[in-house]
Amino acid sequence: MLFIGETNLMSDVLTQLSEDMAAAVERAAASVVRVEGRRRMPATGIIHSADGIIVSANHVVERDDNVRIGLPDGTTASAQVVGRDPSTDLAVLRVNGSGLTPANWDLNKEARVGHLVLALGRPEATVQATLGVISALGEGWRTAMGGMIDHYVQTDVTMYPGFSGGPLLSASGYFVGLNSSALARGVSVTIPAVTIARVAGTLVQHGRVKQGYLGVSAQPVRLPSAVAQQLNQETGLMMLAVEDGSPAANGGLAMGDTLVAMDGHPVRMMDDLMSMLSGDRVGKSVPVTIVRGGATHEMSVTIGERS
Amino acid sequence: MSLLAQLNDALSDVIGGAQKSVVQIRDGRAGQGAGTIWHADGLIVTNAHVAHRSPLEVVLPDGRTISASVIARDDERDLAALAVEANGLPTIQPGDSRRLHAGQWVMAVGHPWGILNAVTGGIVIGVGKQMPDLRVFTQDWVVADLHLRPGNSGGPMIDTGGRLIGVNTLMTGPSVGAAVAVDVVKDFLKRAFNGASVRIETQNRPQWV
């Protein structure tokens, strides 16, 4: 159909692949919007529900007012910022709309290492795309700001200017997640669909993501050998400062104490503590184990909420 | 045969065809550019920035080195047309850049860092004037996620049918390449041979025989 010559059969496979990719981009484009929320170049967002919920990367929505959305039909609508979670670099926006095409999220984790994937962006009127493969998949991880990302997805797609907030699209048309250039340096990391569903759900409901708060600054230290043997744990977190009137102070924690367990889980590194300070523990009294004067002590702390 | 093996065969087929019409362009100094044979009687298109110095020499796909003259050059669109005294040269089929869409597979052939007829592949990121990293230019571009390097300039960007869709011109990032869209090239050649554009310096018109 497209050209003549004896290489037809061979090239048909390639042309077919090429046309399939362009078709996948065109189909997915119905759920990809332009987000005008910063002074520099516009970025991208994903339609999350038919009635106008849009998810994007928090770092591209710099202002709270006068955020504009370029919809797939070419019209522009003003958007309200529903909520932000800087810890996962997600923002939820709302436009007045109905009958929008929501993203077909890959909630079943069908992506495998080696799969072809496309990154999409709509910094201008039309949707743009880059191609890559899934480079690595892994366990859940925490961002530098303590946000929980349910699993690790790394690709080699090129993040073209304005692609942040746009989807990673699988060959079968699923939205694997949302691409953000701000979460990790040097590699393209995707926030997976399950994390987006969870965080977007919370933001729509509460306008923010609850995070626990202790009011301490801490540093990992090596435990005395006797304690290490007793706990079967090499390190703990030493309190370098405890804020007056904070949940930690109210619970009896003092500067110089070394936190070794919380709510039944060992605390070895900062990451362990960050993961204990999840929103669901806010307001709950949890048992903690500390080392003070070479001996372990049990106490309990009521987790506060980070404002 | 697995789909991946079929794809590899298809890729080398298309590339093999396109490489036959890619030339090297030398100006006697360090570095070289690429060019694409547009007409069998010796018309070659390349970038203006590849054809800035003279005398120019062209190495044809069959290995012959012959001198070339610039018959038209447009620095603004970064295009040049060269003539060499040869005929029966293998040409490339021009495509249609207006029919390109984001996501389509494309390839570029050239001589990056002097590596002859090297290939890079990727997909169309976008087509047109509205590319965020090319706002200073006003013409149509084909931007793709492939790797252009010095020496790729002037060579062809092709689609899966082996047709010319652009002239590789610049990189806007380590893995983003931009080609002047083939429709701009067609317009450039039309104006060059009609003598319509004031911007184009036309000299040494070839004697078509």
CATH numbers and ranges of domains, chain B: 3-90+195-202 (2.40.10.10), 97-185 (2.40.10.10)
| H or E segment to which residue A247 belongs | helix A247-250
SS3 A229: helix
Asked if residue B61 has a cis previous peptide bond (ω within 30° of 0), the answer is no
Among A182, A65, A176, A72, CA closest to A119: A176
Instruction: Report strand pairing: A212-213 vs A216-222.
Output: unpaired
Contacts of A186 (CB under 8 A, 6+ apart): none
Question: What residues of chain A lie within 8 A of the CB of B122, using their CB?
Answer: 130-131
* A270 burial via Cβ count (<10 Å: 0-12, 13-18, 19+): middle
Domain assignment of residue A277, yes or no:
yes
Do A192 and A216 sit in the same domain of this protein? no
Do A132 and A216 sit in the same domain of this protein? no
User: Minimal Cα distance from B103: which residue of A?
Assistant: A22
Select the more confidently predicted residue: B193 or B7: B7
CA of B123 vs chain A CAs: smallest distance (Å)? 6
User: Minimal Cα distance from A16: which residue of B?
Assistant: B160
Q: What is the DSSP letter of A233?
A: -
CATH number at residue A241: 2.30.42.10
Domain assignment of residue A167, yes or no:
yes
Written as one string, the DSSP assignment of B30-73 is S-EEEEEEEETTTEEEE-GGGSSSSSEEEE-TTS-EEEEEEEEE
Give the residue from A135, A165, A196 where a domain finishes: A196
- Please tell me which of the candidates A22, A123, A124 has its beta carbon nearest to residue B103: A22
Count of CB pairs separated by less than 8 Å, A with B = 106
Catalytic residues of B: 49, 78, 153
Q: What is the CA angle A282-A141-B173, rounded to 5?
A: 130
Read off the pLDDT of each residue in A27-35 and give the average, rounded to a whole number. Answer: 98
CB–CB of B162 and A41 under 8 A?
no
Q: Is the pLDDT of residue B200 over 60?
A: no
The 10s digit of each residue's pLDDT in A252-270 is 999 999 999 999 999 999 8
Among A279, A163, A70, CA closest to B131: A163
Do A216 and A294 sit in the same domain of this protein? yes
Domain assignment of residue A78, yes or no:
no
Read off the pLDDT of each residue in B2-9 and give the average, rounded to a whole number. Answer: 88
- Please tell me which of the candidates B105, B131, B132 has its beta carbon nearest to residue A14: B105
CB–CB of B13 and A7 under 8 A?
yes
Q: Which residues of B touch A (CB under 8 A)?
A: 3, 6-7, 9-11, 13-14, 17, 93, 101-105, 122-126, 128, 130-133, 143, 145, 159-163, 173, 175-176
List b or e across B29-54, with b for residues whose CB sees 16 or more CB atoms inside 10 angstroms. Answer: eeebbbbbbbbebbbbbbbbbbbeee
Sign of CA dihedral A133, A135, A140, A144: negative
Q: Is the pLDDT of residue A182 over 90?
A: no
How many C-beta neighbours within 10 Å does residue B166 have?
31
- Report whether B14 contacts A7 (CB < 8 A): yes
Do A190 and A229 sit in the same domain of this protein? no
User: What's the 3-state SS for chain B?
Assistant: CCHHHHHHHHHHHHHHHHHCCEEEEECCCCCEEEEEEEECCCEEEECHHHCCCCCEEEECCCCCEEEEEEEEEECCCCEEEEEECCCCCCCCCECCHHHCCCCCEEEEEECHHHCCCEEEEEEEEEEECCCHHHCCCCCCEEEECCCCCCCCCCCEEECCCCCEEEEEEEEEECCEEEEEEHHHHHHHHHHHHHCCCCCCEECCCCCCC
The 10s digit of each residue's pLDDT in A103-152 is 999 998 889 999 999 999 999 999 999 999 999 999 999 887 778 899 99
Domain assignment of residue A43, yes or no:
no
pLDDT number for residue A122: 96
Do A225 and A291 sit in the same domain of this protein? yes
Give the residue from A140, A162, A196 where a domain finishes: A196
- Of the pLDDT bands very low, low, confident and very high (cuts 50, 70, 90), residue B30 is low
CB–CB of A25 and B126 under 8 A?
no
- Using alpha carbons, list the distances in angstroms from residue B100 to A23, A134, B177: 12, 26, 16
- Report whether A46 contacts A69 (CB < 8 A): no
Give the residue from A161, A196, A231 where a domain finishes: A196
Whether A297 is a known active-site residue: answer: no
- Please tell me which of the candidates B123, B161, B173 has its beta carbon nearest to residue A15: B161
Read off the pLDDT of each residue in B41-63 and give the average, rounded to a whole number. Answer: 93
Q: Is the pLDDT of residue B203 over 70?
A: no
**With left for phi above 0 and alpha for psi between -120 and 50, is residue B127 left, alpha or beta?**
beta
Q: What is the CA angle B183-B185-B190, rounded to 5?
A: 95
**Mean of the per-residue pLDDT values of chain A:** 91
Q: Is the pLDDT of residue B209 over 60?
A: no
CA of B14 vs chain A CAs: smallest distance (Å)? 7
Do A249 and A279 sit in the same domain of this protein? yes
CB–CB of B125 and A7 under 8 A?
no
Domain assignment of residue A279, yes or no:
yes
Question: What residues of chain B lie within 8 A of the CB of A127, using their CB?
Answer: 102
CATH number at residue A143: 2.40.10.10
Domain assignment of residue A183, yes or no:
yes
Distance CA B83, CA B68 (A): 6
Read off the pLDDT of each residue in B170-191 and give the average, rounded to a whole number. Answer: 93
pLDDT number for residue B182: 97
Query: How many independent structural domains does chain A possess?
Result: 2
Question: What residues of chain B lie within 8 A of the CB of A157, using their CB?
Answer: 145
Do A263 and A180 sit in the same domain of this protein? no
Do A234 and A289 sit in the same domain of this protein? yes
Do A181 and A231 sit in the same domain of this protein? no
Q: Is the pLDDT of residue B90 over 70?
A: yes
pLDDT number for residue B139: 86
Domain assignment of residue A147, yes or no:
yes
Q: Is the pLDDT of residue B130 over 80?
A: no
Read off the pLDDT of each residue in A5-28 and give the average, rounded to a whole number. Answer: 81
Read off the pLDDT of each residue in B61-83 and give the average, rounded to a whole number. Answer: 93
Do A124 and A190 sit in the same domain of this protein? yes
Domain assignment of residue A102, yes or no:
no
- Of the pLDDT bands very low, low, confident and very high (cuts 50, 70, 90), residue B202 is very low
- Please tell me which of the candidates B133, B159, B175 has its beta carbon nearest to residue A161: B133
Among A44, A46, A55, A42, CA closest to A81: A55
Do A171 and A220 sit in the same domain of this protein? no
pLDDT number for residue B206: 35
Question: What proportion of chain A, given as a percentage, has pLDDT over 70?
Answer: 96
Among A146, A144, A155, CA closest to A117: A155
Residue A271 structural domain: 212-305
CB–CB of A129 and B123 under 8 A?
yes
Lowest model confidence (mean pLDDT) among B16-20, B132-136, B179-183: B132-136
Do A216 and A192 sit in the same domain of this protein? no
Question: What residues of chain B lie within 8 A of the CB of A118, using their CB?
Answer: 103, 123
Task: Summarize chain B as % helix, strand, coil (round to 5).
Answer: 20, 40, 40
